[in-house]
């Protein structure tokens, strides 16, 4: 059975706050986790009319391994291919910091304006276990920072939990609107 959106865990599930383990060898089990991550992301997207399933970390399907998958094309839903980064490590953060909107497949119906570095450099292994280096800026840099956070048990809401003005919801028409801070609190997305 391929993984579905129902394999994705969401806050306040505490499993999301754990640190993921390093992958030593790309085994069949690791390859299965990667296939499940892609399938779960695409199934989630199939149920969301206004959003693209941009990326996922393995911990989000409750497999706490340092693996992230990132969509190749953020604009085109028909391109269902992903980059795979194993043991991702951001080696350089470069400014300026920029605020922009983020959502997360593990944070249901809450969006935020999150400060991130505008450029990063990352080292990782690819799907074949070969070392790679990545330089990213803009939206891709943002996504990579968000996903690498997941491998350390950090959620995007943690960056803005003291900023009541930073929260948004998506309307039925697919537009972002301010979300009341008390309403956000009541969803249990913040750390205890
Ligand atoms: Ni996320």
Q: What predicted TM-score, i.e. pTM, was given to this entire model?
A: 0.96
pLDDT attached to residue 192: 80
Residues 6+ apart with CB under 8 A from 126: 84, 85, 86, 132
Q: Is 147 a catalytic residue?
A: yes
Distance 114 CA to ligand 1 centre (A): 12
Nearest-angstrom CA–CA distance, 124 and 67: 9
Task: Report the separation in Å between the CA atom of 125 and the middle of ligand 1, taken as the mean of its atom positions.
Answer: 20
pLDDT at position 114, please? 98
Q: Is there a contact between 152 and 19 (Cβ–Cβ < 8 Å)?
A: yes
Measure 16 CA to ligand 1 centroid, in angstroms.
10
Active-site residue (options: 45, 102, 147, 161): 147
What is the Å distance from ligand 1's center to 20 Cα?
14
- Other CB atoms within a 10 A radius of the CB of residue 5 amount to 18
Residues lining ion ligand 1 (Cβ < 5 A) are 104
> Which pLDDT band holds residue 140 (cuts at 50, 70, 90)?
very high
β partners of residue 107? 104
Rounded (10°) CA dihedral 137, 142, 143, 148: 110
Question: For 68-97, how does the pLDDT look when each residue is reduced to its tens digit (9 = 90+)?
Answer: 999 999 888 999 999 999 999 999 999 899
């Amino acid at each position: 059975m391929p993984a579905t959106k129902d394999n994705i865990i969401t806050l306040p599930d505490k499993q999301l706050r754990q640190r993921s383990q390093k992958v030593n060898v790309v085994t069949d089990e690791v390859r299965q986790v990667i296939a499940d991550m892609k399938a779960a992301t695409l199934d989630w997207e199939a149920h969301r009319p206004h959003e693209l399933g941009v990326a996922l970390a393995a911990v989000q399907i409750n497999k706490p391994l340092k693996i992230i998958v990132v969509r190749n094309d953020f604009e085109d839903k028909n391109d269902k291919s992903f980059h795979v980064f194993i043991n991702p490590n951001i080696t350089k953060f470069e400014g300026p910091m920029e605020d922009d909107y983020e959502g997360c497949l593990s944070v249901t119906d809450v969006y935020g304006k999150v400060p991130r570095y505008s450029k990063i450099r990352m080292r990782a292994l690819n799907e074949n276990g070969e070392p790679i280096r990545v330089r990213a800026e803009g939206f891709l840099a943002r996504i990579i920072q968000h996903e690498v956070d997941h491998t350390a048990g950090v959620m995007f809401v943690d960056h803005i939990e003291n900023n009541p003005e930073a929260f948004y919801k998506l309307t039925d028409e697919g537009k972002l609107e301010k979300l009341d801070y008390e309403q956000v609190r009541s969803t249990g997305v913040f750390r205890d």
